[in-house]
Amino acid sequence: MTDIPLDRSYRALFAVPSILRILLGMAIARVAQAMVSVALVLFTLAEYHSPELAGVVTFASIFPGLLVSPIAGVLLDRHGRIRLIIADWIIALASLVLIGVLALAHALPDWLLVVIATVSSLTSIFSHTGLRTLFPLIVPEHLWERVNAIDSNGYVIALILGPPFAASLVAIAGGPAALIVTGLLSGAAALSILGVSDPETEVTATGPILSDALEGVRYVWRNRTLRGLGFSISTLNIAGGMSTILIPLLVLRQLGASEAAVGVVFAISGVSGMVSALLAGRMDSRGREWIMLVAPMAASTIAPLLLLPPAAAAAAGQAGALDPRLGFLLIGASMFLVGILTGPMDIALFTVRQRRTDQAWMGRAFAISMSFNYIGVPVGAALAGFIAASSLAAAVGLAVLATIGASLFAAFLVPRDEPGTSTA
């Protein structure tokens, strides 16, 4: 008897109950998140004229949420994902509107901006981890590559739409208005998934919250794959976090372009990343995850190297010394390369983590693993803000070193195979 081949098409994925509503909410929220990462930096540079403060605000908007990720993971495992995802998006709505309104009223000192950014970050892990752990629970395993491709493209489509929209809003209507609109988008994302039911899951987190959170940390640390991913991806994300500060500074101050141009440059990585993720999502990643992680990570070293000429011109104190067309070409090529390499890397990252994490631990393990992976972003942003204030070239050089370190960590710390941890 011949087995009937499984339908691995995107059509089969979209037939999964509630998946379209979840993907719609994810898409809206991701656009809002891509907008706020740019809008906050441009708003802070315009209102306070301080790269250091821009780095601190970016750090405050991300890092505190990563610290509470073990507790957030316990709550996701115990209380379901949908309601906590909605709560995060509502808090994002409130915090961004509050920043915008206070700025318009000239009642937003820099310390209060940092405080609001910090408070809003505390729930951010709910939506990031909640969505990522929801997919393997409601989607059959033979469709994981497909849903992971959509998940990855949720970010890259957001990069295509979010930064240009945010940057244009800042240029036309001002930073406060851009932040208010971004907050309203988060509210729309919450509305789109109201009424969606959580899937039934086995719950192992039943003791005291702190005890269960600590058990989650131990689980991630003992899982060689999750531990190796944490060291490699977090180091790579140092370079990614630095780019959120370096790209606007290079485009605005060295090339003399407008805020809208900043959004266009970020969108380039989104366009190339979307194509890359869709192609990578058509592959069966089983047994290929290691090479799909290590090879793109090694090639990613080229991306920050392309930023060195415009940064070196700034270091020489010669604003405009570099031909703006060449500068845009180099920065655009750097972002294009980032997008191309992100596709296969994301698919491999998502699927290997799903296959090597026990289902009952997904809330805690994913929350901690994703925070471990992402911690480089706020660290990189903070470092870039302080280093770039005195030397853009030095900041770019640190980003190059981060990509080299990330590829070495991936090659030597992520196991090619780790039997016995599959959720299948």
Task: Decide: 269 and 336 in contact? Cβ < 8 Å.
Answer: yes
What integer pLDDT is reported at residue 5 of this predicted model? 67
Record the tokens describing residue 329, joined without a space: 């070409």
3-state secondary structure 59-72: HHCCHHHHHCHHHH
Q: How far, in Å, CA of 183 to CA of 175, rounded?
A: 12
The pTM for the full model equals 0.75
The domain locations on the chain are 16-413
Q: How far, in Å, CA of 283 to CA of 312, rounded?
A: 40
One digit per residue, pLDDT tens: the chain, 424 residues? 445 567 777 788 889 888 999 999 999 999 999 899 889 999 999 899 888 899 999 999 999 988 988 888 888 877 778 999 999 999 999 999 999 999 999 999 999 999 999 999 999 989 988 887 888 888 888 888 788 878 877 777 787 888 889 989 998 999 999 999 999 999 999 999 998 988 776 655 556 888 888 888 999 999 999 999 999 999 999 999 999 899 998 988 778 888 888 888 888 988 888 788 777 767 777 778 899 999 999 999 999 999 998 888 765 555 556 788 888 899 999 999 998 998 889 888 888 888 888 877 777 888 889 889 989 999 999 999 999 888 888 999 999 999 999 999 999 999 987 654 433 3
Q: Which residue has the tokens 């485009």?
A: 251
Record the tokens describing residue 299, joined without a space: 């090639």
Q: Tell me how far apart the terminal alpha carbons of the chain are, to the nearest angstrom.
A: 23
Which residues touch 131 (CB under 8 Å, ≥6 apart)?
22, 26, 81, 85, 151
Which residues touch 323 (CB under 8 Å, ≥6 apart)?
none
Q: How far, in Å, CA of 397 to CA of 312, rounded?
A: 10
What integer pLDDT is reported at residue 163 of this predicted model? 87
What integer pLDDT is reported at residue 1 of this predicted model? 43
Question: Which top CATH class is 16-413?
Answer: mainly alpha
Record the tokens describing residue 191, joined without a space: 């509305």
